[in-house]
Each structure stands twice: as C-alpha cells, then as structure tokens.
Structure 1
C-alpha cells in the first residue's frame, strides 16, 4: 500500500485566531504542529493509501483506531492537552480484509488565549520616611500560557502617585517622598499585560507613621494678666500643643523646662497651677521692675523614639487684687475744741491706710456715715481733716459723736469705720507745772525690770479737759530703757541696765494738758547707774597654741595670757592659776598670766602638753573663766642616721624589668619628727649602674637594662641623711654589692622587616625568601632556636623551614582576593621558659592576567523602523586585574542566530543596526558578545546583551471578538466597575 500526504491550510479571518500547520514526516511516523486556536473543521493532513486490487478489493476506508478520545470533533486547548498521538488505519473492502496503519503525532502550539491572573489581593505598608527606591511590595501573576505568551509586564498608569513599578519583576518602589500626615493610604491600579491581554488589580498601600513632627503649640507664646492667688493649687492658665503623628508619636505631654519656684504643670492636660501664694508686690523704688512678672518655658514632647520637642514661653503678670480694706491708724479719734474757734479751723485728722494693695485699690476717700450728726463739722474726703463748719459758742461742754468711713477705689470697693468724739470746752489758760524742775536718782545696774524708780508730779489750774494731765518721756530714752505711766507719772525700768555700757541717763519728762490747744510743762530727770560685779573675766582667745624648743632652760617664757573684765574698780581685779595640767614642768604668774618652764624638756620623751588656765575675780572667785593652752615642743636634730649593716649583698636577673625591686637598705635615727626622717640616695658613679633607690623606703630597684655579659658584679654607694643639705657630719654611708645573674635572651633577627614581591601565579613550593636570626646566650639550650610563622598566614598560604628559615608558598595565591600578606615570623629558643624574637615579613603579590573581562551592560533599546546605522548602545566591561591586564577591551559578535543580520558591533563596543526592524515580527534580540582584554596572554569571556525593540503605532486596528475572564476573590461581589477593556493593534497573516 502506498501512502500519499498533502496538507490543506486555511487562513482564519475572524478574531485574533490564526492557524499554522507544519509536517515533519518520516514513514511510518508523521508529525504535525498546529496552533491551538485552529478552527474546528480545518483540514490538517490527508493520508492516502493505494491498493493494487480492483473493485471492492481496491476500495480503501480510513479510520482512527487510537489516540482520539471519544472520536468527536471539538476545539483544541493546549492547556488541557498539548499532544495527540493518532493511529490511522487504512483497510480495503475485500475478503479477507487487508489493512495497514500509520502514526500521526500532532503537537498543539500555544496561543495567547489566556489572560494573566494576579496571584492574590495585594496590600502593603510603608513607613513615611522610606527613601526613594524603597521596595514596598511585589505583585505577581500567573498565566496558563507558556513561553513569551506567559510573560507579564507591569505598569501603573497614574503617574501622580508617588510609586513606580518595575515592569519585569512587579516590584513597587517609592518614587517621591511620602508624608502620612498628607495621605495615609494609596490605592494603586496595577496593570499586567502579556502580548495580547491586560488585567488590572488594586494594590492598597498603607503609609505608617514615623515620628517626623514635633508637637506644635497653638500659640507661639502665652501672656496672662492674673489676679493675686491667695490659695495653692489654683488653675492659672492652660497651654495646648498638637502633634499630627499617630499613636505614641502623636501623644503629647508637657513639662516646665527649668523648674519654676511658683508654678507646676499637669503633664497630660497642660493646665498650669500655682505652687505658692502669689501677692502683688509694689515695684516702685525696687531695682526689679518685673517683680510681679513670672516667665518660664514650657516644653511639649511626644512619646516617639527619639522624642521630638517644642517650646513656648508662658508669661504670667500678677496684678493687684482689691483684697484689703483701708485700716484706720487709731481705734478711736478724740479731740477737744474751744467754743470760740472760728469756722474753717482744722480740728483733727483721721487717717486710714491701705498699704497692702496698690494703685486705685490703695487710694482712700473718707465719708461721714451719718451726716445729720455732724452739722457743726465738715470732713475733707481726700485728706481726712475734720474742721469746724459753724460757730460752737452755744455748744460749751457738748460732746459730738459720729463715725467716719474710709473707702478705697477698688472694684468692688472695700471700707472700714472709726468713731470720732469732739468735746467743746473753754479756753486753755494755764500750763502744767512740775513740783520740781529737776531731780536726780541713783540706782544699781542690777535694778529689776518693772521696778519703780521715781514718781514725777505736775498740776494744772484749768478745769475739765484743759486741766487733764498726761506724762511722757520726750527725750533721753531712745534705747527704751525706761517707761512712765502717762496718768500717774510713775517712772519704771523697762529694760535691764548695764553699767559697762552707760553710767548716766538724762531724761526729759513732759506733762501735757487736754486742751484743744494743749500746753506742756517740762522736768529733767538724771538717773545715775552704779556698778555691780556682774561680769566674769574673759579670755580672748580661749585657745592658745604656743611652741617651745626642747632643751630650753628653766624659766623660759612660753606665753603670756591676758583676760579682761568689763566691770570696774575692785570688781575688775583678775588673778590666774593652773586649773589642770598633764605635767609639772610649767608654772604661771598669778598676777601677769605669764607661763614659764621649770625643768628639762625632751622632745623624744613627750612632744606636747595641755594646760587649763583659770582667770577669776579676787573678791569673788565664782566669777571666773577658763582657757586651754596646748604647748607644742619643737625638736632639735640631735642624732645622725646610722645604717644597721655596713655591707649589703643582693642578686638580680639580667632580664629583670624596670621597677624590679632588688633589695632594701635601712638606717635608723633616734630623733623624732622631721629630724628623725631618713633620706636615701645613690651617689657618684653608682648612679650610672642601672639602679635607683626610693628616697624614703630605701628600696633599690632596676632603672635600666642589665647585661651580665658586660658587667656581672656591680657596687653601689648609698648615703643615709636627714632632710636638708649634706653637711658632712650628719650622714652615713654603706656599700651595696649586686650580682647580675644570666637570663635567657630572645633570638634577634638580622632585619626587623623583610619586604618581598612575588607573582600571584606561582605554584605551591615556590621559594619566597630566607629569614635569619642569632642568639648569643651562653647556655646551649638557650641559644638553640626554631623558626615559625605567627599571625597573618591566612589559609596557610606560606610555610617556613624551622631550621633554615626558608619561606615557601604552600597554597594558590590570588592577588584579587588578597594583595598583601603581613606575616609575623618568630624565632623561639629552647630555654625554660622559652624566649621569642620576632620580625615582619611583608609579601606583596604582583598581578598576572588571570581574570577575563565581564560585561557591565546587558540591556539596550532601539525604536522599530529606524534606518540602518542607528546607534543602539556602547558596551562597557570590567576586569579585576590591574593594568595592563585590563582594558582597552575589544568586542566581537558571535555569528550565530538571526540577530547578527540586524546588528553590527565595532571592536570598541559600539553597537549599531544594519537594517530596519519590525517589532511585530521580532520584539527582542539576544546577542552573544565576546569581550577580550589587553593582557598577555589575552583573556576573553562571552556575555549576552538583550535588545528590546520599542513599538511604534504603525498598524491599523481590526475588529475581533475577545473573551475576557474576570476572577473575583471576594465572598460576594457588590457590583461596580472592574476595569477598562482597550483595543490592541495587531497584524494577522
């Protein structure tokens, strides 16, 4: 049977569907490829079997015997089944029936018939201080198609939003600075589109708060006129600040920056209360004109981390409150007046003061409470003077009683009242006369307070008020020592007298009658004060601290004390005595108070003495006082320092460090105090031997390097002396012999630092250098040593021969990973303990060309339909090697694939087009590029550059039918707009 195959292909003209059939046949297997949107009924392939028989035996029938489930005709869907394997049977109608089979494999090619689908409903949070480029979230899609049909590109149409999206990855990033206080959430419409479909979803971005706003007071400053505050804890005012931040960042609390003496603040509400009573104070005449003004700074802070602060100034000016009524200076006012006084004469002045208030609150006016009782008198409202307003001739012996009110000008006004009595009398013709115009009295200074001294007496021949006498002391009593009964004239003592202050008092006593125009008589009184023994002797000072030399001869004056007595005469005679003492080596002259020695004073036996001296009156020994005398002996330098040993032997290792104590010498001095202090010093050439001595303790210690090989035995001369210059006879000398013991010295390298350069490409085992050290110790085990590498040998790149000091490479070296090795090379001897010498080995690696260049640019763009020669991009590369193993770089296109027919690449890396490009045919190119460096030998690498063809609107649109599937992930769709359907230009073949 022969089989012939022909292909019939129909061009679809409706919608976006088109079909493509390809065959690759090799008997007995046939392959067919077609698009999944091929229309039902389209002929794909015809198999033709021939039969050499005739008649019914040569009539051929065809059937699909396997691979077509259900044997029905339905649309193809690659996403459900991408390959069909059919077995086709050709059979004749003869008897017996003859048949043959052939296999046809149909591969269904993908068509972009599925829209991308967002993987979820997206939402994210971003802090408002997120920097530009901060990734907020990533949107992702899935697509049942494959290949380029499943590649989605993302976009955000609303360019006013402060976000952009990466079209390839779906990463949404911040493109402009955010401010939560302006907008706290964004709804971003994100579109995903493949080559034929576009879907959209809303991404909700919540802007989270950052503490970027300090609290702001509602006023830049607060000023308040506040009345006086008579209580504590009263609300004075309130400040307020707001913070637009959220949560703790916007939670505001208050405090006074510098603690106020007068005010406190509620941290939560900003209410300000007083902590003290605040009264208005008169500032006139004061250096502080702002005495009533209180200013302080209130700080508002949020509870962010860190917190932000702002400040405002609060000024509270205390103004006077009318809280005090005027007060009269007298509880009652009285005056007599003669009957023939003329109208207009001022009689008496009432005075009320309001000195606790100020301003209008303290200005006083006077009023008569009942003017019907004062028709004979008038009152000046401003001054308080009461004057006669009409004749009093008919009012002899008449009393006028009325009340005067004093009222201030405050709001509301306050007032008080006082009674005024006026009596009309006859003329006052006579002056009071004392029985004696002068009298003298003598009293002791111990006279009791309140006791009567003398009574004075005067008489007046007038009658009634004009003859009523009152006594006063008009002068001589400025200290207030005396008092007089104004009615009886009895003179008494008001304060204790002191003869020592004043021995005589001259008083003037007056007798004044009660007439309206009063008359006064005078009497002089002399009071003589006599002394009594009322003062004890007193030392000044009460403590004495004299010094006296030891060995002073008997009778040496130590000190003379002096006590005084404020009394006079016999009451002031003073005698002295030693009340108590801790020694009998001192005596005192009872008349002069001079203390002298009696006996031998030895500083080494006792250094100080204490005496209590009594000073007393001779007539009355109970009148006494005491002084403390502390006598300090001053020693003399009687003895010379002497070493307890005449020769000292010490040993010390030559390896001893500075400060090591070798030994101690000691000298004694029988003197006490500073005279007995011993000072040590090394003198002469001994000071150059590498040792010093502690001046006070006598400890000898190492002060410089020791070398047993140079000087094994050292002799020092040490002096012991008292403080001060050397006088010859006051010093002692001793010899100190020190033996220097051998010590294990470390090996010493010939160089402190070795600098070596080697190539980075040398193989392991390569010789680097030799290091060398020597050890001059005499002990064999101390002079033998081995070499080691200490620090800096990362990855064990080097090794050293312990005996020869040869350094070799033990690992691969890469300058690009580590260009320099700083090795610590050690030489350790065999001593116990061992001693170590060290040196630095600095190995610098020289570059070789062991790295190929790497493309730095991988993507470019070109507009479709541009003419040949259009510049696409200039390639850039990098190379970790050093010059000259880097650039300049040369570039070549691999001559594989159709892309090389569209582009040309110069050796300098300039990529240009060689022909016009149609994006509808090819939208992306992938070029393989070879990059070579300039090193020897030359290194190269191959990279891929993607060129995207940018679309132009060069195709008219055509009508088509598109099915759109919308997937909703909520529970119940409430209705509304899902999105927009837009037409896409496309060419069909």
Structure 2
C-alpha cells in the first residue's frame, strides 16, 4: 500500500489530505519447483499409502496467485498418487519389480491465479527388487515318454521351472516327491500298494532338473507314470518351493509292421480291381484299412503312378522303378481310415489302367511302414459323344445338279473305344430327302432329287452323328446344322410386269432435267448377274424422240414432244408406239422379255381461268337480311383460253387450304357458279361475309386456279323496336326512371335523361323521345333527340 499527502492551495490558504493506493497482485510468476528432477527408490514390498518422496514449489506472486496445487500428469501408471496440497507422493497400489522396474513421473505445479500458470518437475523412481516370489513349474503338469528298452542313465526330460527373482542362476534345486498315479498295460489305474516297487525306476539331477532312467523300465507293469516334482529357491530367506507333476509314458518297442487286408500278402503285395470309368468325384473305390499287432495305425498315403500297359502283368508287385508319378492324381486316400475315393476324372479313353502305391505306417517305435500296389482296371463305358470337327457346316451346290454330285465332307470323332467309338451319320430336316450321306460322312445329291433355286434357295439340315453302341446299350449322338445354298443358273427369262404400258404426257416436256414419263418393270426369277436386267427400245423410236434408262427402266423424252404439224393445235389423239426389250445379265444374256409402250401426247395447259363475274377484285354485293334460304347472291363465271379439259372451269369456295362447295352460310354450284345462301342471314348477328372464290380448270397433269375475294354485306331491315336502357326495368314490366327535383326551381331545370337504343342501322336506328301521358298541366317537356327531361316551370311540393 502506498500513502500520499496531497495539498491544495489558492496562494493565501491551503488544505491537505491523505491518499492511500493499494497495489493488487498480477499473476505474473509461474510456480518454481525446488528441483527439476527428484530421485528416489522404493521397495517393491512397500505398503500401499507409504510416502515415497515430497515435491515442493514456490510462487513469486502473493495471495491466491501464490497458492500452489500438485497433480501427476503422466508416468505413474496409477501405481502412485500425490497430495494436491502438500506434494507428498505415495504408493497407490502394490508394486512389482518384475512388472515395472522404474517410473518417470511428470508432476505439475499449478497456481491459483487467473489465468493459471503451470510448471513441471520429474520424479524418477526405482523399484528395489525383493525375493518375494516362489518358483513355478511351467506348465504345472509336464509330459515326456521313454522307450521300454531305455538303459539306466538315459535322460528322458529336463524339468522346466521359472523364478523371476531368484538371486543366482544355481539358486533352484529339483527333487522327485514320489509317485502320484500310475496306469497299467490295460489302461486301468495301478494299485497304490505297488508304487514302492516303481520308486527306483527314475531319478532327477538336483541342480539341472534332468530326469533320467535309474532302473529297468517295467512297461509290463505300468504304461504311464505320474511323478511329483518339487523345485526349491534356496537363495530366498526363508526358502520358497514350487510343485508340479511329470507324466511319463512308457513306450512299447515296435515289433510288428501293419498288414493290409487280403488278397494282399507280404509275398504278393498287390490288389487288382475292376472299376467303371467316369465315377463321380468322391465315390468310394475300395478300403485299404490295415491292422497292426502291437501298435496303432498312424496314417495312410496314396501315390498314383503311371505304368506302361505292356508291363502291367509282368511288373513285380511293389517295384515302382520305371513308374512316373502323375501331376494330377485321380485317386485319394483318407489318411485316417484308408478309404480310397475318386478325386479326378477316371477316363478309359485316356488311361485304361491306374497303378497306385499305398503306404501305411504305425505309431510304434521305431515306426514301421508297409506298402501295397493298387492296380485298377477301368471298365469302358459309352461316356463320350461324337464331336464334329466344326460347330456348323455350309455348302453350295448348283441347282439341277445331277444325283451323286458331291456337296461336302463332314467328320465326327467319338473318343470311346471299339464299336462305342464308331460313328454313323444321318441327315434330318425338311429337305433331308434331297441329299444323302455315306458312312464316311460324304454328303451328295440324292437320287431323284430336283434342286430348283427358284423353288427353294436354301436348305437347312442337321447332320446327326450316332455311335454304334450294341443293342441294349444307350446310343449317344450329337448334331450340327448344315446349310446348303442352291446356287443359281440362268434358266429363266425376264418377264415384264405388264404386256403393254400406257402413259399420257403434255407436249413440250422439259428436257433439262428430263421429265420421267413412266417406269418399266421386269422381273427375272434367277439371282445375281443372271437377274440383272438391262432395258432397250427395239422398235418405234426411229426419230430418237425417247431415251430409256437401261438400269432403272425409266422412259424420258429425248426431244421436244409435239404434234406433227407445229402450225396446228395439238391433237388429243397424237401418240407414239414403242417396243421395249428386257435382257438378263445386264443385257449380255441369252434370255429376254418384250413389252409395248404407248405414249399419248396431251395439249399443254398454258392459261389460268379469268373471272368474268365478279369482274373486279374485292367486289362487294348487298343481300337483304331475313330472307329465307336459298337466296341467290351472285352467279360466278370465268373463262379459260385453253382447249379441252384444260379450258373447262369448275367453281369452289376456299376455306383454309381446301376447296369446298359449301360453308355454313353459302354454297356454290361447281359447274354453273350459282352462289346461294344456305341460311336466312341476320345483319344483327353478322353484317359482313368475306368469301374466297375459286375458279379452277381441269388440266392434267397440271391444273391452274384463280382466286377472287367477294364481300357480301347483309342489308338492314327495320325489324327492331327501340329499347330503354339503364331504367331498372325487370322482365315483363314497363321501364321506370325515377328523378327528383327541389320545389320552386325555375323553368327548364334538368331532371335527368332517358336512353333507348335500336339494333337496326342507319335511319332505322334513329330514336325520337315523346311524353305520351301523365304530364298534366304540361309541367315537363323532353328533348326529342337526346331524351333529356326538363321542368316547364316552378313546382310546389305542397300542391303535388
């Protein structure tokens, strides 16, 4: 705290006061440990809660900023705790030197300021080992075995014991603590009264723990012996012990090898079997289960071998010299039961005989092995189907080929042996009678067969291959498609679709580009080049007026076509007569067909129709309303300067893009042009109609038409009465207008206006207004043109 004396003076007098300033601490110092590293050691047997070390820290601040608390950050593994106020580190749970020998604990010192400031220190602890653990046999029950012919001194086992805190390597001592249990040769527990006579059978080296044979191994009395084991840590004070057991199996010395069942014998160690081919995978072939007089069977092994067929009967059984082990065995043996099963395909056609070497061994000591040669003769079955050398066949033969003509050769192979592999051929299908097939697969044209491409150009057959299995066995067969194409020969002439062609054309057809007149069409029943037709003109076109396209058969004009006398108009009967020929093989063949062509020349349509009535474009005609239909509107007429059909005019009405003879309101006669109404016209419904007239000639192949617009006005008739409007009138009532006027107003004061309309037109629609009754004393008058009602003088409400 700082105390100041402050004086205030005005030059004549003064006054003083004391000012006290308290300086508040800022947390600007971090805690500082007395040491950055604390070292200590602790016995592993120290009790939980024992003090290990105390850490301390100071803080340069004051008050709460200097209040320090302690916390373990890491490294204690929950084995130690710290007092947050005093910094005393204690044991939190039992220690174990063998689990962890050292600890590096990070301790935090945290002040009470805001924000908090933190410092760290390290506590390094070493755990002092104490010999506090007893030795242990691992595993508790240990096992070994000894042959019955083992000699004294023979070591059969080294006992395994561990002690993590033994003081010296030779601190452990071993001893046998007696017989715990025994099993006789029949597998029954041995009477404990006989244990003493077995005590001298085994001994143990006290320092190494090696168990050795100390006397005769009496397997005739006992087959399994359980010995008690004790291991002592002599370096501990007091000494510590561990206990366990050693199970010793007494092994019989193996005198007899395994033997296979008959007909196997040591003198003839082979077995022959007949097995059908193609047995399913997993099928049982035989059982090679063996027996042993003094041991159990340890397992089986089968090796499939390949032996030349000529040596199968002469090879010494069991002599595997010259045999080749197969890469992919087809037999396998169960190693536990000796059952032989199929593991691959048994195929007579690949291998008729399978030779296997079967081995069996026992579990005795020494282990003895016996072998047998298993010879399997496969029985041939009809398991193969004939296979063609192609998935399908195709052949070509000319139509009308002679019987016996070769078509093609087919081949199928059956992998079976003998008759089962001999192949017979047949043909099936709707056209099978047209061909025959020999025993060796040669396909030829059948006797009496007529091959006509124009009747059938493709014959689809199936070639069936069947094996020659004997009667009573199922035959196997397969088939493939055979497609025989009947090749064309030029045995047909072209035939025109018509014997005579006719066409009508106008004179002076354009030459560039040429206008087609007609197209000739001929058909040849042959195919290919034999059916390619060329067209020519042979007669009637000596002047060269026409050109015939040889490929398409289209006839064109080669010169302008006109009548013979250019000074005379064209004659409707002018014509040309041509003879045309169609020849196959593009005109080089020997076959052809003939037809005639008549071309008639028509006059050319050169003029459009010209209107006579209405004579002017957009002419208007009036028609009175309310006249019953039909009412004549006009007679349309037009002329055409062409001759014949080209000059004949027909009349229509145009609606949209179509020519029609009538609409809803009008109709027109196509020949006379008489235009009539179809309904009574009402001007108030529609006052005007716009009609599009069509005058069209009958020219061919080109016709012309001329359009003209005719406006039809519906003439008004005084057929409507005036009707008052805005009067509030209801249906069936006289119109009523209500006006009001203050009394004593001067003359000619306007009361209001009545209004009426007339649906007629022009003068027929002019309305005049009159007061017809109720105007006593002539108190009111009305403007007859506009319907405005005025007062004629002042009115007195008390009088009326």
Same fold (TM over 0.5): no
Which TM-score applies when normalising by structure 2?
A: 0.38
Which TM-score applies when normalising by structure 1?
A: 0.32
